């Protein structure tokens, strides 16, 4: 790698992609390529091939995906399965066919079995059934991991898959119909605070354990994989620590200074009981996260407050 390397970041406008772009720019990389979904439909194989032929990147980073929480996964299983496979398959296969030897694929910790031993090791992949509430997204991501592994083994290409834990941060999705748990809580507590510290109703029992990683730390892991040749095809990326959803809620409530009651709706699903990543492989290579959870939530809430104009239906 050098600072003139041409790097295409698929999904550069999203939370993860934009963090990767910022991090690379700050390090001095000058040939970054991005295309919005209006400019390039990644589900269209021919459009992807034409774009890659025209821009001639040396490296592709796949941070593009159709994402959402439990509700979205439950309501739109076909789209989560098919569209994610279309996006990643078009990028992976085009990279292979056009002779691009460096590819970084971003997945999710949901690829691992629901009841796998904790913390989750890379070798637990495909050992037991998945969590039903997000299996469609997980199955799509598993096919991407395996495609990269197959190209690596068969053609000796530097294709690597990074599996992040639950990510959050600036440029997150705060839509209550499709957001993940942490940004959804930020919005709910913020709106309740403005509404005379109204009651906040949260899904589930609050007992599941979850791990969270600030998106800038994920971007740093991607840059680490970009600038080094990693010896294996699959790596977990996370903080290596977790807390209960209830503990997370209390932390966010404290940061936002909401003083009302929290009610847990245990008629709603909890999802996987625990999901903690074993990040020892990345640690051994030299990468480690830098942002603790409270600091990261404060940064995220600050960005949220500065960008409330982006949330048209937000009650301010």
pLDDT (tens digit per residue) in 36-79 = 999 999 999 999 999 999 999 999 999 999 877 677 778 899 99
How many distinct structural domains can be found in the chain? 1
Token pair belonging to 119: 């913390």
In a domain, 316, yes or no: no
Mean pLDDT to the nearest integer, 241-246: 97
Model confidence at 167, pLDDT cuts 50, 70, 90, reads very high
Q: Could you confirm whether 137 is annotated as catalytic?
A: yes
**For residue 178, what pLDDT is reported?**
72
Higher model confidence: residue 285 or residue 175? 285
Please say if the pLDDT value at position 287 is more than 60: yes
Residue-wise pLDDT tens digits, 53-63: 999 999 999 99
Q: Is residue 113 part of a domain?
A: yes
- CATH number, residue 169: 3.40.50.720
Binding region for substrate: 188, 203, 210, 270
Mean pLDDT of 142-167: 97
Which candidate in 8, 29, 112, 137 is catalytic? 137
Question: What confidence score (pLDDT) does residue 312 get?
Answer: 57
Containing domain of residue 280, as a range?
Answer: 7-308
Predicted pLDDT of residue 315: 45
Task: Assess if residue 313 is contained within a domain.
Answer: no
In this structure, are residues 295 and 234 in contact, taking their beta carbons and an 8 Å threshold?
no
- Binding-site residues for NADP(+) sit at 11-17, 106-109, 141, 164-167, 180
pTM of the predicted model, to two decimals?
0.92
Annotated binding-site residues read 11-17, 106-109, 141, 164-167, 180, 188, 203, 210, 270
**Is 104 within the bounds of a domain?**
yes
Residue 109 lies in a domain: yes
**pLDDT tens digits along 188-206:** 999 999 999 999 999 999 9
Q: How far is residue 81's CA from residue 237's CA, in Å, rounded to a whole number?
A: 23
In a domain, 2, yes or no: no
């Amino acid at each position: 790698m050098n600072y003139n390397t041409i790097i295409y970041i698929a999904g550069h406008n999203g939370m993860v992609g934009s963090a990767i772009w910022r991090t690379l720019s700050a390090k001095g990389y000058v040939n970054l390529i991005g295309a919005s979904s209006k400019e390039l439909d990644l589900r269209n194989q021919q459009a992807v091939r034409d774009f890659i032929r025209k821009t001639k990147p040396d490296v592709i980073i796949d941070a593009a995906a159709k994402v959402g929480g439990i509700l979205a996964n439950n309501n739109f299983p076909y789209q989560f399965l098919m569209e994610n496979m279309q996006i990643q398959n078009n990028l992976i296969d085009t990279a292979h066919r056009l002779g691009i030897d460096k590819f970084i694929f971003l997945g999710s910790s949901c690829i691992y079995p629901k009841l796998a031993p904790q913390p989750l090791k890379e070798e637990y992949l495909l050992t037991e059934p998945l969590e039903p509430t997000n299996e469609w997204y997980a199955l799509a991501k598993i096919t991407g991991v395996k495609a990269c592994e197959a190209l690596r083994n068969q053609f000796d290409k530097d294709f690597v898959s990074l599996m992040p834990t639950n990510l959050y941060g600036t440029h997150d999705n705060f839509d209550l119909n499709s957001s993940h748990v942490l940004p959804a809580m930020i919005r709910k507590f913020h709106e309740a605070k403005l509404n005379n510290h109204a009651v906040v109703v949260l899904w589930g029992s609050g007992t599941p354990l979850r791990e969270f990683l600030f998106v800038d730390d994920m971007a740093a892991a991607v840059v680490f994989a970009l600038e080094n040749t990693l010896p294996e095809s699959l790596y977990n990326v996370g903080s290596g620590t977790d807390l209960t959803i209830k503990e997370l809620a209390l932390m966010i409530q404290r940061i936002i200074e909401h003083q009302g009651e929290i009610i847990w709706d245990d008629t709603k699903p909890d999802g996987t009981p625990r999901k903690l990543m074993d990040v020892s492989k990345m640690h051994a290579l030299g990468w480690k996260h830098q942002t603790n959870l409270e600091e990261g939530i404060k940064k995220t809430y600050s960005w949220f407050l500065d960008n409330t104009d982006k949330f048209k239906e937000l009650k301010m």
